[in-house]
Structure 1
Amino acid sequence: MTEKTLTEYYKTVWLPCKKIELKPTSYDRLYRTVTKNVIPYLGHIPMCEIELQQVLDFFEFVYGTYSLSTSKKIYEAVNACFKFAQYIGDVPNNPMLPIKKPKKNNFSPSKEKSILTTEEIKRLKFAISVRTYKSSLLEPYIGWGYYFLLNTELRPCELLGLKWSDIKGDYIYIQRSVVSYHDEKNDNYVVLLQETLKTSSSRRKIYLNNNAKYALKQIASKTNPKGKFIMQHEGKIVKPDMLRRNWYALIKEAEVTPRELYCLRHTFASLLFRENCDIKSVSHIMGHSSVRTTYDTYIHLFEKNYKETNVLDRIILNIYDKIY
């Protein structure tokens, strides 16, 4: 039986095993879940001395504090560790056995996704096009990158992985993404270009409307034309944190209510629903793994705007012409 505390066991036994098994980005998410959400509460207790009541109290706190998604990650991180420890004989039993996995019906509905108003979209475009922002942090080509996101449904990490060679006529093919993860050894964040995407449905082609094409033209005029990547900084891939920092600089100058960068993708989805695009088509356009994912993410938009119709071609061609 082990004499290690839960913290010691995680860091010297279980996490090193998972590091070999998982992709760097997946391991980084697991590592952050363990160090942020588990160790501060149970980490000081020896593995063999953790009792059922302590685990029950901990998960009562978890399920009452965090979202369903975060609660699932915490549950899996604790349960898998104890199952592993019991399997190799490091603990006599698994105190997680009576703990129920979190279910959706026990949690409050997800918050509505934040989307930009028509007026805010106009302000953003104005700030980008006439460069009214004063921040030296914001590069002009990055501003047009946000405009490109606004006119497509790309995830920010997918934008960073785009190459000019991915453009084929009126379409751009999504084949890779750029992510960052924490390197424990050197205590810094590493930027990784990966050929794998979030789901198999994420590998897709996207129609380029006139505004998206215009944004690409502006980016090309302000970056190295010989570079492989559409978004590049001094010949290198733009880092995810640089994209986020510049975003906050832009919305501050444009006097737009602070929102996460992902609101550009949510705004695109909201405009599809506003045009009565059916949910199956929206799911396909957004690159979701299933229609259920689309429904759970945008239920508030879907229920407000749903109507059985198929106007996909008209939407993709004209959706932003109405705004501008």
Structure 2
Amino acid sequence: MGKRTNTAQWVESTQRWRVSVQKDGVRKQFYSSKPGRTGQREANAKADAWLDDGIAARAGRVEDVCKAWLHNVEITTSSTNYRPLESRWRCWVLPVLGKKRINAITDQDLQTVINNAHVAGKSKKTLMLLAADMRSFCKYCRKAKLSTYTPEDLTIPAGARFKGKKVLQPTDMVKLFNTDTTTYKGAVVRDQFINAYRFQVLTGLRPGELVGLRWADIHGNTVFLARSINVDDEETHGKNENAVRSFVMSDVARRVLDDQRNLTGDEESVFCIKSEQFYYYRWRIYCRVNELQAVSPYELRHTFVSVVKTLPAGEVKPLVGHSADMDTFGVYGHALTGDAENTAQAVNSVFLRVLKQA
């Protein structure tokens, strides 16, 4: 803790209180224009705060400090992670917080950002990302000794909903696992990525993880995921720290991979997908030709979670690379045809057992 040995003095020429203090070889002056002892105490308090906490009494504005923070994010993450974050910050955070001093931010300021986005119809996931963005910025400010503020009471409005996602229904999955063909240049051919579609549904891989998968990553029945190729053709370690993982394949996934091995020969890449965009393009054609519901490749990941949602969450999270606090089933689990009937039958069975015992 720093210790001030002097007190603010009134400067007649500037009509304000001034106190000069030094810490770690750095000298700063703090001021107050308030008359009387109130102003003297205020100037002294500013100096004490700087000496004690290393926090500048007149910290910069959010719009200025965030430039350094955003640059730090840009150079430490992939462009596909940085661009959406920068867009959220520019569209939702800066209009509310841009002119605020770093050391004057409150929980209500951050809550206003979230509430505004909610009123504008943004999904629950977007609101959660905004909250995470602002917590990350505040952490950066604390590490940079610009503020001591830690958000404590941010809430997502109860009415917020996740954006509707589609998944393959059982009838679509039956077609997927029984139909190999598509059209290419007007001819009916075997789809070159048929095993990729099937493997994604069976494992819940992200599209970029599928593109980046190498035969060297597979040892026996275990798949080791250590890279992802994003839409900008950049190789990364995945979306987050949980993305680097391993899992043991199911028997049906193993059979799909064995079939792919017979097709690729000496290729290094498992599915030989040249880009995520091309994969998406061929998948859309396959869906149209075979009359499957038009879902995105990422929604094939949602399909996997929807199929296995009856398993314990603790078993599914490591498979898909989610953290312990991620609401995997809430975000990724969607209703499949027959779910309601199966639930009704399960409830019926429970009551039958209870009544039989009675």
Task: Work out whether the TM-score is over 0.5.
Answer: yes
Which letter maps to 1:31? Answer: E
Which letter maps to 2:271? Answer: M
User: Helix, strand or coil: the match of 1:262?
Assistant: helix
CA RMSD between the two structures? 4.6
Which letter maps to 1:241? Answer: Q
- Does residue 128 of structure 2 align to residue 72 of structure 1? yes
Question: Which ranges of structure 2 fall in alignment gaps of 5 or more residues?
Answer: 1-57, 347-358
- Measured in 1, the distance between the counterparts of 2:91 and 2:271 equals 32
* Structure of larger gyration radius: 2
Q: Is the 8 A contact 1:159 1:231 kept in 2?
A: yes
Which letter maps to 2:280? Answer: R
Q: Is the 8 A contact 1:161 1:177 kept in 2?
A: yes
Partner of 1:177: 227
Query: 1:213-252, CA deviations, whole angstroms, 9 ceiling, x for partnerless residues?
Result: 245524652x4x332211325xxxx323332233223222
Identity level (%): 19
Q: Is the 8 A contact 1:280 1:291 kept in 2?
A: no
Give 1:168's match in structure 2, choosing from 219, 225, 229: 219
Q: Is the 8 A contact 1:153 1:265 kept in 2?
A: yes
Partner of 2:167: 115
Q: Is the 8 A contact 1:202 1:288 kept in 2?
A: no
Give 1:16's match in structure 2, choosing from 71, 78, 87: 71
User: Helix, strand or coil: the match of 1:151?
Assistant: helix
Partner of 2:272: 232
Partner of 1:213: 255
Equivalent positions of 1:89-238 (< 5 A) are 100-103=153-156, 106-110=158-162, 113-125=165-177, 127=179, 129-132=180-183, 140-169=191-220, 171-180=221-230, 189-194=232-237, 198-200=240-242, 203-210=245-252, 212-214=254-256, 216-218=258-260, 220-221=262-263, 223=264, 225-233=265-273, 238=274
Question: Which ranges of structure 1 fall in alignment gaps of 5 or more residues?
Answer: 182-188, 308-324
Distance 1:165 1:14, change over 3 A: closer
Distance 1:212 1:147, change over 3 A: farther
User: Helix, strand or coil: the match of 2:235?
Assistant: strand
- Measured in 2, the distance between the counterparts of 1:67 and 1:230 equals 35
Query: 1:88-119, CA deviations, whole angstroms, 9 ceiling, x for partnerless residues?
Result: 799xx99x99995233x624353565321222
Higher relative contact order (CA 8 A, sep 6+): 1
- Measured in 2, the distance between the counterparts of 1:257 and 1:118 equals 11
Partner of 1:30: 85
Query: 1:133-192, CA deviations, whole angstroms, 9 ceiling, x for partnerless residues?
Result: 6679x99322321122123332322222221123333x13122231437xxxxxxx3521
- Does residue 336 of structure 2 align to residue 290 of structure 1? no
CA-CA distance at 1:26 after TM superposition: 4.2
